[in-house]
């Protein structure tokens, strides 16, 4: 999916309204009072170049302003980066197909509306109203507002891109190196090779001479009249009026003599050493073997040690002192009942306050923790602090929480793994399942559950807010401010006595 639309869009038969403007999709019941406001929000968002997140935010504001009765039946979708933002309300439904599977949203699953940010790549998006039919493969919807029961954006059936026209004459750099495509104006005459003097045959005696060095053929720079037996530097001839400069000839004693073809090559002066077999390793009796006595066949017992016993043969005495806390980690220990609080490893300060072993100061009394003198042990985890919302609500960090507009219907709350914390906003920017606060050991983690308007954090001492990635845990420190949606905030404060 691209940032400019949904590829090939096809309408579904039905009696509602479907719209496709600026790469944004909208389906709604034509009898709804909020239909005109939703179409206006779509046009304004498309005209301003907004994405799917901006459209979902505008649609949530329209639905929040018209919540006098049952939720309006509508659905919107739009691209956000490589993914898609979807919002459904009432009896509408949405399906987003990705290589990892399908994500389905239904407005009936929430008391108000449901929204989700689905990460890409996206292969297919379908928004449908009750009673919608199947799309016709020959029908395409290029934009506008028409009657219909839904819209389908299919990315597996994209139109083929038009082929680029072939150039009338190939470029010079693309021409093959053949005579058919060589431009006569660019052709260069072939360079003729310079004539080389023919080598003179060398007469050799029919038998090798012992007192005469082998004869080497003359070099091309030598004159044919020069005898090959001459050696040593030759005088430079005098130049006449019509003769050019002659190159200096290399003395024959500087060139290595060639081997005579009549003599066999000399043998190497060294010989390859033969490998010697490895010496046998000495055999030593093991501790379990008893030495035999000569050749009479009778085994003689070893003499017993006389005198006092060796103190090193006795077992070591037990080590005195505090037990090692890590010695019996693999064994199942009998722990006292501490309720629902998990057991974690920690250290005590001098006032017996149980703390994170990584902390430099006690979280209760603030006294310094000298790590070298502390012994960690396993104990019940205390409260890690408190989350204070902007309306004064305090959430003690003793277990996980799920924040959202309708958290009671979330599967995490139904399964008992998190407590619900209802957070609403007048602009509708808080999703039904927006944020989970997950406690892992001594860490406080935030997990954005794919909300449309996202979650931002402001670290302590930093004036900026930063988006956290969806569906990935992010650890926060005490003093961090968290923005949920657009307008709701909360702050993480560490526990102090």
* Tens of pLDDT, residues 340-369: 789 999 999 989 999 999 988 888 888 898
Tens digit of each residue's pLDDT (9 = 90 or more) over 358-397: 988 888 888 898 866 788 999 999 999 999 999 999 999 9
> Which DSSP helix (H) or strand (E) runs through 445?
strand 443-448
Q: 232: which 2 tokens?
A: 């040593």
How far is residue 214's CA from residue 146's CA, in Å, rounded to a whole number? 104
Q: What is the largest CA-CA distance in the chain?
A: 126
Q: What is the mean pLDDT of residues 243-265?
A: 50
How many Å apart are CA 243 and CA 227, to the nearest integer? Answer: 23
Q: Which residue has the higher pLDDT, 458 or 318?
A: 458
| Size of the chain in residues | 497
- Phi, psi (rounded to 5 degrees) for 83: -115, -155
The yes-or-no verdict on residue 309 having pLDDT over 80 is no
Burial 10-44 (b: 16+ CB within 10 A, else e): bbbebebbbbbbbbbbbbbbeebebbebbbebbbe
Q: pLDDT at position 389, please?
A: 95
pLDDT higher for 403 or 268?
A: 403
| Residues 351, 362 contacting (CB under 8 angstroms) | yes
Q: What is the mean pLDDT of residues 125-141?
A: 92
Write the Ramachandran bin of 84: left for phi over 0, alpha for psi from -120 to 50, otherwise beta: beta
Average of per-residue pLDDT values in the chain = 76
Look-up of token digits 């401010």:
481
List CB contacts of 288: < 8 A, sequence separation 6 or more: none
pLDDT of residue 1 exceeding 70: no
CA gap 407, 403 in Å, rounded = 6
Task: Inform me whether the pLDDT recorded for 117 exceeds 60.
Answer: yes
CB of 119 within 8 A of CB of 82? Answer: yes
Percent of the chain residues topping a pLDDT of 90: 44
Q: Given this model, what pLDDT does residue 154 score?
A: 84
What pLDDT does residue 428 have? 84
Residue 18, sorted as left (phi over 0), alpha (psi -120 to 50) or beta, turns out to be beta
- At which residue do the structure tokens 């979807």 appear? 86
pLDDT at residue number 74? 95
- For 190, other C-beta atoms within 10 Å of its C-beta total 6
Domain boundaries, the chain: 8-154, 343-380, 386-493
pLDDT for the residue 51: 92
Neighbours of 133 (CB within 10 A): 13
Residue 89 reports pLDDT greater than 50:
yes
Q: The tokens 């060294």 sit on which residue?
A: 270
Quote the tokens at residue 96: 């987003």
Q: Give the confidence band of 65 by pLDDT, cuts at 50, 70, 90.
A: confident
Distances (CA, A) of 36 to 33, 68, 318, 479: 7, 16, 85, 44
Dist. CA 5–CA 153, nearest whole Å: 9
What pLDDT, on the 0 to 100 scale, is given for residue 69? Answer: 78
| Tokens 């957070």 belong to residue | 423
Segment of 287-296, 328-337, 478-487 carrying the highest mean pLDDT: 478-487
Strands, E assignment, 134-273: 144-154
pLDDT tens string 436-446:
999 999 999 99
Name the most confidently modeled range: 222-236, 362-376, 449-463.
449-463
If one looks up domain 386-493 in CATH, what number appears? 2.60.200.20
**Per residue in 402-427, pLDDT tens?**
999 989 989 999 999 999 999 998 88
Confidence of residue 308 (pLDDT cuts 50, 70, 90): low
- Mean pLDDT on 135-148: 92
Of all residues in the chain, the percent with pLDDT exceeding 70 is: 61
């Amino acid at each position: 999916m691209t940032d400019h639309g949904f590829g090939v869009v096809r309408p579904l038969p039905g009696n509602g309204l479907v719209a496709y403007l600026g790469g944004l999709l909208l389906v709604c019941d034509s009898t709804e009072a909020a239909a005109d406001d939703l179409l206006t929000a779509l046009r304004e968002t498309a005209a301003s170049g907004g994405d799917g997140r901006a459209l979902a935010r505008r649609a949530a504001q329209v639905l929040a302003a018209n919540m006098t009765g049952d939720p309006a039946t509508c659905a919107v979708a739009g691209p956000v980066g490589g993914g898609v933002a979807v919002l459904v309300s009432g009896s509408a439904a949405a399906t987003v197909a990705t290589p990892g599977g399908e994500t389905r949203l239904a407005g009936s699953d929430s008391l108000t509306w449901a929204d989700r940010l689905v990460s890409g790549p996206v292969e297919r998006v379908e928004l449908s109203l009750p009673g919608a039919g199947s799309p016709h493969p020959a029908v395409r919807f290029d934009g506008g507002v028409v009657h219909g029961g839904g819209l389908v954006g299919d990315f597996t059936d994209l139109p083929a891109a038009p082929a680029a026209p072939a150039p009338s004459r190939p470029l010079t750099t693309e021409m093959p190196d053949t005579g058919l495509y060589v431009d006569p104006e660019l052709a260069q005459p072939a360079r003729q090779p310079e004539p080389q003097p023919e080598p003179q045959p060398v007469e050799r005696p029919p038998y090798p001479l012992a007192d005469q060095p082998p004869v080497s053929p003359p070099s091309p720079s030598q004159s044919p009249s020069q005898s090959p037996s001459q050696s040593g530097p030759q005088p430079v001839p005098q130049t006449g009026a019509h003769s050019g400069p002659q190159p200096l000839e290399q003395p024959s004693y500087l060139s290595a003599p060639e081997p005579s073809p009549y003599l066999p090559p000399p043998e190497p002066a060294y010989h390859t050493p033969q490998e010697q077999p490895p010496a046998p390793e000495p055999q030593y009796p093991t501790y379990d073997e008893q030495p035999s006595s000569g050749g009479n066949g009778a085994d003689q017992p070893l003499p017993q040690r006389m005198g006092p016993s060796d103190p090193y043969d006795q077992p070591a005495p037990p080590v005195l002192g505090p037990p090692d806390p890590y010695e019996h980690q693999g064994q199942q220990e009998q722990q006292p009942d501490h309720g629902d609080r998990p057991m974690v490893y920690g250290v005590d300060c001098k006032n017996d306050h149980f703390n994170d072993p990584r902390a430099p100061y006690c979280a209760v009394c603030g006294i310094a923790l000298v790590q070298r003198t502390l012994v960690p042990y396993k104990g019940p985890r205390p409260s890690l602090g408190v989350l204070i919302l902007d309306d004064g609500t305090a959430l003690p960090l003793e277990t996980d929480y799920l924040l959202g507009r309708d958290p009671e219907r979330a599967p995490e709350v139904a399964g008992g793994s998190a407590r619900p914390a209802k957070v609403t906003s007048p602009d509708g920017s808080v999703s039904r399942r927006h944020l989970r606060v997950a406690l892992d050991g001594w860490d406080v983690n935030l997990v954005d559950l794919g909300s449309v308007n996202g979650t931002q954090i402001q670290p302590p001492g930093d004036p900026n807010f930063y988006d956290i990635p969806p569906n990935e845990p992010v650890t926060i420190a005490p003093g961090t401010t968290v923005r949920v949606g657009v307008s709701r905030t909360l702050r993480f404060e560490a526990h102090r006595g």
